[in-house]
Amino acid sequence: MMTTSLDMQTLTTCVQTAALAPSLHNSQPWRFQIDGGTVEVFADRGRQLEVLDPSGRELLISVGAAVFTLRLAIGMQARTPQVIIFPDPARPELVARIRTSQVTTPSVQVRDLAAVISSRHTNRRPFMNAVVPADVMEQLCAAAAHEGATLTQAGAVTRDAIVGLAQTAEARLRAHGGYRAELGQWTQPRPHRRDGIPPTAYGPWDALEHLPLRDFGLVHPYPQRTAARFEAHPTIAVLATEGDTPAAWVRAGQALQRVLLTATRHHLATTPISQPVEIPAVRDLLTDPATGRTAQMIIRLGYAAPAAATPRRPLTDILESGQP
Ligand SMILES: Cc1cc2nc3c(=O)[nH]c(=O)nc-3n(C[C@H](O)[C@H](O)[C@H](O)COP(=O)(O)O)c2cc1C
């Protein structure tokens, strides 16, 4: 087997690609370090949302999504990434160590998913009243399974229950003063801001408040925002993992990004929805007692006008090179 590690410049480009991953409130809670042909991915606890995400579960889902994207970027450089999750128990902030020496030819799957990394955006617009074809849904479920998670499309009854639970969750969150303050911090428009959610990504206001969409315009509304009618019967799927440990959260993040990119490749719009899983009592209702699988994320899927990209922090903020 041929082995040659990737050089610093190539790995720097891979890190830049990895940073296009989705993250809670676009917090981008990651840091990278390149050392020889190895990349280490760290959780940046300074960017954790203390009110919404006290356990750091969504932070690690976000970092997991970046790890998956990094794997694809390395795959595109004709290497099989060798990934160890939490390689050093004494350093829990070190989420992944990835070696890049094993030479390979990028598979069709890697090429297909890598091709849509920069066109995947969270879409908060109304989706068309069109059904997601069964074979596409099967591929999304297979994408989650490939990463050791499960994706289950909610049937009509479960979907309505989830919408109801999400509305309850959203109402409870909004009533929490800390929630509004935190949301305000991550949606405060500032010139040249490179993180958080800009008004261009809020999407229109759901006039009937029927869908479980997070209202990013709650604290800093903007006058041009229009109201719209959203789809009456959203397609919703639940991403779940066996276990609910930090390693399971990283796994969920990798699965989330694999599902989102597979969906993008099939021209589907996607919205990760996390309010129902942010309130423990509501989350318990989404956990299947028969399998013990824990819900990690709800994903809304459908067809819609394209959404705009959100900003990313500069490489100098997220990348360190050599020994710390
Ligand atoms: C763990 C996690 C939770 C998220 N929760 C929500 C959510 O509840 N509602 C929502 O509209 N977007 C949610 N998102 C999407 C992020 O807001 C989005 O990824 C981020 O703003 C960056 O934008 P992009 O996905 O368009 O690149 C979530 C993403 C992650 C990774």
pLDDT (tens digit, 9 = 90+) per residue, 11-49? 999 999 999 999 999 999 999 999 999 999 999 999 999
Neighbours of 172 (CB within 10 A): 15
What number of H helices and E strands is found in the chain?
9, 11
Average pLDDT over residues 125-146: 97
- Bridge partners, 151 (sequence order): 239
Same domain, 14 and 79: yes
Are 238 and 266 in a shared domain? yes
CA–CA distance, 205 with 213 (Å, rounded to integer): 9
Say how many domains are in the chain: 2
Would you give the DSSP letter of residue 19?
T
110 lines ligand 1 (CB under 6 A): no
In-domain check, residue 201? yes
- Pair (291, 316) in one structural domain: no
Q: What is the pLDDT of residue 323?
A: 46
> Which pLDDT belongs to residue 324?
43
Beta-carbon contacts of residue 245 (< 8 Å; ≥ 6 apart): none
Query: Which CATH number belongs to the domain containing residue 89 in this structure?
Result: 3.40.109.10
Sheet holding 319-321, edge to edge: 79-85, 94-103, 38-43, 30-35, 319-321
Range of the domain at 93: 8-120+311-321
Residues 82, 22 share a domain = yes
Q: Calculate mean pLDDT across residues 308-312.
A: 97
Ligand 1 pocket residue status of 296, Cβ below 6 Å: no
Specify if 125 maps to a domain: no
Q: Are residues 115 and 204 in the same domain?
A: no
Residues 78 and 139 in one domain: no
Asked whether residue 220 falls in the same domain as residue 286, the answer is yes
The structure tokens 């932070």 sit at 59
pLDDT at 88: 98
> For residue 127, is pLDDT > 50?
yes
> Both 215 and 292 in a single domain?
yes
Q: Identify whether residues 143 and 175 lie together within a single domain.
A: yes
Q: For residue 97, what are its two tokens?
A: 């160590």
**Confidence category of residue 167, pLDDT binned at 50, 70, 90:** confident
Whether 168 has a pLDDT exceeding 60, the answer reads yes
> Would residue 128 count as lying in a domain?
no
Q: What whole-number distance in Å separates Cα of residue 297 and Cα of residue 57?
A: 11
Residue 121 · residue 310 · CB < 8 Å: yes
- Cβ–ligand 1 distance for 27 under 6 Å, the answer no
Q: Can you tell me the mean pLDDT for 75-93?
A: 98
Does 231 lie in the same domain as 282?
A: yes
Question: pLDDT tens digits for 232-266?
Answer: 999 999 999 999 999 999 999 999 999 999 999 99
- Output the residue whose Cα is nearest ligand 1's atom 4: 24
Residue 127 lies in a domain: no
Task: Compute, in angstroms, the gap from residue 101 CA to the centroid of ligand 1.
Answer: 33
